[in-house]
Amino acid sequence: MKFKVGDRVNCIKYKYACVVNPCWVSELCLSGFYVIDNCNKRWYLRNEDLEFADQEDIDKDNCSSLPPCYGVGPLEHITKILGETALEHRDKFFEKFVTNEQGGQNSKIEGRYDLLPPFAIKELAKVYEEGAKKYEADNWKKVDVEDHINHALAHVFQYLKYNRRFDMNQAKKYPEEIKIEELSHAFCRLSMALELLLRKT
């Protein structure tokens, strides 16, 4: 990639005629760039969509009078606004690119999504669908974290009730489908609680 964060560029593709040149390159990703234009709007562009802005364009640009965005503009400019956090943000960002043995580059992601249990995730999706039909989509976002945890525990204990033989004389056996349903609902409630907590941080 010939461009880097902080470069001043112009969009040269007709389909992006609404982009107001010149722009700042604000973020890099695997196949292109995010830029902030002179009207403080964010666009996704590819390498072939851009060219370096002429100094004449930069000189007549009034972007410096616009409210600054995080991570936008020359590193010296955003460092004045954000202090050393701007440098730290840049360093952390570039750590997210990895190169394989063939020289190919990828953005580094946190986590191993390929290790997620597909059957359990499918059950989770079914519970979310069931909840959307029973109440409404995203109704769970209106429920407190503590309520989600309480319901999750209720489902866990219900599972334990079905799974254990409290009366050894009768030894009643419950079908596996009932146990799966209880654990799936517990899993769903915990995922909701976790999501709400993560969104607060």
pLDDT in tens, 29-40: 656 766 776 666
Distance CA(144)–CA(196), nearest Å, equals 8
Q: What is the mean pLDDT of the chain?
A: 75
Residues 144/145/146/150 CA torsion (nearest 10 deg): 100
69 contacts 36 by C-beta, under 8 angstroms: yes
Per-domain residue ranges for the chain?
A: 8-107, 118-200
Q: How far is CA 179 from the centre of its chain?
A: 32
- Three-state SS for 124-155 is HHHHHHHHHHHCCCCHHHHCCHHHHHHHHHHH
Distance CA(15)–CA(111), nearest Å, equals 36
pLDDT at residue 171, rounded to an integer: 53
* Pairing of β 8-11 and β 50-52: antiparallel
Q: Which two tokens stand for residue 106?
A: 């990828």
Q: Higher model confidence: residue 179 or residue 26? A: 179
Helices vs. strands in the chain: H and E counts, helices first: 6, 7
Distance CA(183)–CA(152), nearest Å, equals 8
Quote the pTM value. 0.52
Cis preceding-peptide flag for 175 (omega within 30 of 0): no
User: Does 136 have pLDDT greater than 50?
Assistant: yes
pLDDT at residue 181, rounded to an integer: 96
Q: Higher model confidence: residue 167 or residue 69? A: 167
pLDDT at residue 157, rounded to an integer: 95
pLDDT at residue 180, rounded to an integer: 95
Reported as a single tens digit per residue, the pLDDT across 174-183 is 788 999 999 9
Q: Closest by alpha carbon to 45, among 66, 69, 15?
A: 15
User: Does 114 have pLDDT greater than 60?
Assistant: yes
pLDDT at residue 68, rounded to an integer: 40
What's the CA angle centered on 110, arms 75 and 86, to 5 degrees? Answer: 15
90-110 mean pLDDT: 66
Reported as a single tens digit per residue, the pLDDT across 27-78 is 776 567 667 766 667 777 777 778 888 777 666 655 444 334 433 444 444 4
